[in-house]
């Protein structure tokens, strides 16, 4: 449970810094209150996403809405990368002043959270059939989550601000936990496994996106890039100093590219194998 507590601690620290003006997001409206007053601890914009707070109906510019702000930010991220997204850049895209956005979004960190939720979208209603066993169900969850990342590669650059706290992200979490419902595992272990599998999906998607970007920049086919790398490594790696690397090169592993999904499938299956050992131990 230590990892989960650390995630929550860092999320609280980031939120406090952001709202005090010491973080990257700047200032903004106060949050949604704490447990003592029945609040959610969430910023107003996130509460609005849940339907717990009425969205501003009349902004400084007619037609300006939270959804339009998020859509504009996503369009900038898709076209120019996440680093290009700022309150000022989004305001320019919408033809409004930067300050007018703060009626809807208190800080850039909030905008990031809303962007991720919108990009992720709701899980498909048929993510896995009701009679699927945990392995099939969790596998389908992982593959579907990967597809989400591949549709929105910029979302991989979003910082992790804490556990799921927006409608779509919590819905995906719900489906993942449902996949583990009949495993006999305790609830804390289920959450840990969701962090493990979700982290693998995100990490693999990010790595493959980076590799694809390098290949695209080179203007060559994947096979050509891999072959050139193997040739370079053979020139650099002295067999006496790097015998294990030499064996890999001699085996021809670096001579041709695998099919696109091979590495993800291999890694996911090994993760599921490990979870299966854990599940069997509970029977």
pLDDT of residue 4: 52
pLDDT band per the 50, 70, 90 thresholds, residue 39: low
Nearest-angstrom CA–CA distance, 107 and 18:
7
Nearest-angstrom CA–CA distance, 172 and 165:
11
Spatial CB neighbours of 183, under 8 Å, sequence gap ≥ 6: 134, 190, 279, 282
The string of pLDDT tens digits covering residues 217-237 is 888 888 888 888 888 999 999
The string of pLDDT tens digits covering residues 60-119 is 555 789 999 999 999 999 999 999 999 999 999 999 999 999 999 999 999 999 999 999
Spatial CB neighbours of 41, under 8 Å, sequence gap ≥ 6: 31, 32, 33, 34, 35
pLDDT of residue 33: 54
pLDDT of residue 17: 43
pLDDT of residue 82: 93
The string of pLDDT tens digits covering residues 136-163 is 999 999 999 999 999 999 999 998 877 8
| Cβ pair 176, 197 in contact under 8 A | yes
Written as six digits, the tokens of 24 are 């990257």
Nearest-angstrom CA–CA distance, 57 and 52:
15
Which H, E and C letters describe the chain, residue by residue? CHHHHHHHHHHHHHHHHHHHCCCCCCCCCCCCCCHHHCCCCCCHHHHHHCCCCCCCCCCCCCCCCHHHHHHHHHHHHHHHCHHHCCHHHHHHHHCCCHHHHCCCCCCHHHHHHHHHHHHHCCCCCCCCCCCCCHHHHHHHHHHHHHHHHHHCHHHHHCCCCCCCCCHHHHHHHHHHHHHCCCCCCCHHHHHHHHHHHHHHHHHHHHHHHHHHHHHHHHCCCHHHHHHHHHHHHHHHCCCCCCHHHHHHHHCCCCCCCCCCCHHHHHHHHHHHHHHHHHHHHCC
pLDDT band per the 50, 70, 90 thresholds, residue 243: very high
User: Is pLDDT of 26 > 50?
Assistant: no
Counting every residue, how long is the chain? 283
User: Is pLDDT of 252 > 60?
Assistant: yes
Structural domains of the chain sorted by starting position, each given as residue range(s) with its CATH number in brackets: 1-120 (1.10.10.60), 121-283 (1.10.357.10)
User: Is pLDDT of 15 > 50?
Assistant: no
The string of pLDDT tens digits covering residues 153-209 is 999 999 887 788 899 999 999 999 999 999 999 999 999 999 999 999 999 999 988
User: Is pLDDT of 54 > 70?
Assistant: no
Written as six digits, the tokens of 154 are 């910029």
């Amino acid at each position: 449970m230590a990892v989960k507590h650390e995630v929550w601690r860092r999320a609280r620290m980031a939120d406090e810094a952001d709202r005090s003006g010491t973080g990257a997001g700047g200032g903004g409206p106060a949050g949604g209150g704490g447990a003592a007053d029945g609040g959610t601890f969430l910023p107003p914009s996130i509460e609005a996403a849940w339907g717990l707070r009425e969205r501003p109906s009349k902004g400084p510019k007619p037609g300006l809405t939270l959804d339009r702000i998020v859509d504009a930010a996503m369009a900038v991220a898709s076209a120019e990368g996440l680093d290009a997204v700022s309150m000022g850049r989004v305001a320019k895209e919408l033809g409004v002043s930067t300050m007018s956005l703060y009626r809807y979004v208190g800080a850039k960190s909030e905008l990031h959270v809303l962007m991720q939720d919108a990009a992720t979208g709701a899980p498909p209603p048929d993510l896995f059939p009701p009679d699927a066993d945990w392995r099939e169900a969790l596998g389908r969850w992982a593959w579907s989550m990967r597809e989400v990342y591949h549709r929105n590669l910029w979302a991989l650059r979003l910082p992790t601000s804490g556990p799921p706290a927006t409608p779509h992200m919590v819905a995906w979490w719900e489906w993942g936990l449902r996949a583990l419902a009949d495993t006999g595992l305790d609830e804390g272990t289920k959450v840990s496994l969701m962090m493990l599998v979700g982290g693998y999906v995100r990490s693999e998607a990010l790595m493959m996106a980076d590799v694809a970007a390098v290949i695209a920049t080179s203007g060559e086919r994947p096979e050509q890039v891999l072959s050139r790398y193997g040739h370079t490594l053979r020139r650099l790696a002295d067999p006496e100093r790097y015998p294990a690397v030499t064996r890999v090169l001699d085996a021809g592993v670096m001579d041709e590219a695998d099919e696109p999904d091979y590495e993800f499938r291999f890694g996911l299956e090994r993760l599921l194998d490990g979870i299966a050992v854990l599940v069997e131990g509970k029977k």
